Structure 1
Amino acid sequence: MPDPKEILKEHISNFASLNEEQFDYFFSHFNMINLQKGQMLITEGDSVDHEYFVVDGCLKAFYLNDNMKMFILQFAMPNWWVSDFDALYSKNRATINVDCITSANILSISNEDREKICKEIHEVEHFFRWRTNKGYVAAQKRLLSFMDNDVKFRYEELLALYPQLYNLVPKHLIASYLGVTRETLSRLRQ
């Protein structure tokens, strides 16, 4: 397994400048979690008080409607963050699920610790603000792509942006993320 501390340090250093002491203090607030393929991290109805940084592996955040149809909101690969952010920030119960597509190692930080560190170290607050803004922009772009582009374009765009998904994620999950059936996805791949 890659060194979680070094992976998080490299990730953070792309957007914020922390000295060794600051980073060590920041990292001391994380807990390592090892998950198996298929294991649930968050289940609809849970109380959510942590967010998670993926060290290795792949997770998915998804919603199941009343007919048990799955809608994938996000894939979370290495160096990505995942949680039910609405539940985390609003203190409501989880409305989405997060589980492991592959075995995964993740770092967990509580909302309370994140807020405390953001108040103490401006650069950490800057990082989390940047990350939240980037996530918002990505969600907006995905929504606009659904409105303006056909499924073939969205599929090609997904593979261009995240080519590793094709080998990590089963095709029926990619189809669900794109909002199409597995059969439609198969026709696109021909």
Structure 2
Amino acid sequence: MNSELRSLRNHIEEIVKLTDEEWKFVSSHFEYKKLKKHQFLIQVGQPVDYEFWIIEGLIRAYNIDEKGKEHILRFGMENYWISDHYAFQFQIPATIFVDCLEDSKFLCLSFENRELICNEVHAMANFFRIKANYGYVSLQRRILSLLTQTAEERYDGLLEKLPKLIQRVPKKLLASYLGVSRETLSRLKG
């Protein structure tokens, strides 16, 4: 797990710097987890015990409406944090599904340990505040794109921002994320 922890430290230190002593404390509160393709990190109605930093793999967060239609909220890949953030933050049962689209590896942080880390290492409180703000910005941009952009503009934006994601995600799921039919996605890609 040493290389995984080094990668996490590099990720954190892109935003805040930690002393070796702080890092030793922080890193001791993470747990390693490995899941296979199609396994769930989170299921609706279950407790959300962790937020997950993705070491390797591809993850989707989604909901299924009463008609059985899947609505993909986001994808996560290497160096992304993912969870049902609403349920995690308020310690309520999950409101979304989060599962693996590829075999995946994670470093997991419980709510209690995140709070402890933030109280003891102020740089980490700052890190999580900044990451949350980035998340809010990303969510706002996604909502605005769904409300104001054409399907082609949304596809082009995703292609520009995350070209590797488009190569890794099955067409059906990519169409769901973009809010279009698979046929429309095929026309956009053509």
Structure 1 gaps, min length 5: none
> Does structure 1 residue 95 correspond to structure 2 residue 95?
yes
Q: Percent identity?
A: 42
* Residues 23-172 of structure 1 aligned to structure 2 (within 5 Å): 23-172=23-172
Under a length normalisation based on structure 1, what TM-score does the superposition of the two structures give? Answer: 0.97
Partners of 1:111 and 1:3 in 2: CA distance: 24
Under a length normalisation based on structure 2, what TM-score does the superposition of the two structures give? Answer: 0.97
Partners of 1:60 and 1:24 in 2: CA distance: 31
Q: CA deviation at 1:91?
A: 2.0
After superposition, the CA RMSD in angstroms is 1.2
Structure 2 gaps, min length 5: none
Please identify runs of 4+ aligned residues in structure 1 that moved more than 3 A: none
Instruction: Note the alpha carbon deviations across 1:28-56, whole angstroms, 9 max, x for none.
Output: 10111001000011000011121000001
Q: In structure 1, what is the equivalent of residue 175 of structure 2?
A: 175
Partners of 1:58 and 1:3 in 2: CA distance: 19
Name the SS of the counterpart of 1:130 in structure 2: helix
Q: In structure 1, what is the equivalent of residue 4 of structure 2?
A: 4
Partners of 1:145 and 1:69 in 2: CA distance: 21
- Counterparts in 2 of 1:95 and 1:148: CA distance versus 1, 3 Å: same
Q: Report how many aligned residue pairs link the two structures.
A: 190
Check whether the contact 1:41–1:99 (CA below 8 A) recurs between aligned residues.
yes
Partners of 2:3 and 2:60 in 1: CA distance: 23
Q: CA deviation at 1:2?
A: 9.0
* Residue identity opposite 2:185 in structure 1: L
